[in-house]
Amino acid sequence: MTAAELRALPLFADVSDDGLERLAGCVAELERDPGQVIALPGDPGSGMFVISEGTVSVELRGDDPIELREGNFFGELALLTPEATRIGRVRASTRVRLLSVPREDALAIVESEPSVALKMLKEIARRFAGVPLDT
């Protein structure tokens, strides 16, 4: 994924050119087909995912599934502690293209680019408050 493609994602829209170049060098692109499981509760949380195309369904502790689509992210709690495990089941609802951002690289971006940290915190707060997602 190029720096220009990363800039098109809302989470990274305000990241510096240098930050985007660093990020482009560390993300892995993954594709999953509809119905394919991406994460299960208890899986190791080695990083976070950003959806660059498609839609995923997230099921948390028996709650109704929520749909996340292009521009959104999941797995961000893995950034908070190295021992974190996944807390929900994530499944591709459509063909989906994901960016897998390893924990250490995601932390480096969050530390050097305050806009990313602020956007993530706002989205996490919205999710915990049950407010509908922006994207």
pLDDT band, very low/low/confident/very high, at 80 (cuts 50, 70, 90): confident
For 2, counting Cβ atoms within 10 Å of its Cβ (0-12 exposed, 13-18 middle, 19+ buried), the class is: exposed
Helix (H) or strand (E) holding 51: strand 47-53
Pair 32, 95: CB distance under 8 Å: yes
Indicate whether this model's pTM tops 0.75: yes
Between CA 41 and CA 132 the distance in angstroms is 23
Q: What are the pLDDT digits (tens) for 38-78?
A: 999 999 988 999 999 999 999 988 778 999 999 999 999 88
Q: Calculate mean pLDDT across residues 80-108.
A: 92
- Determine the pLDDT at residue 135: 45
Which tokens go with 129?
A: 């408050």
Domains of the chain: 3-129 (2.60.120.10)
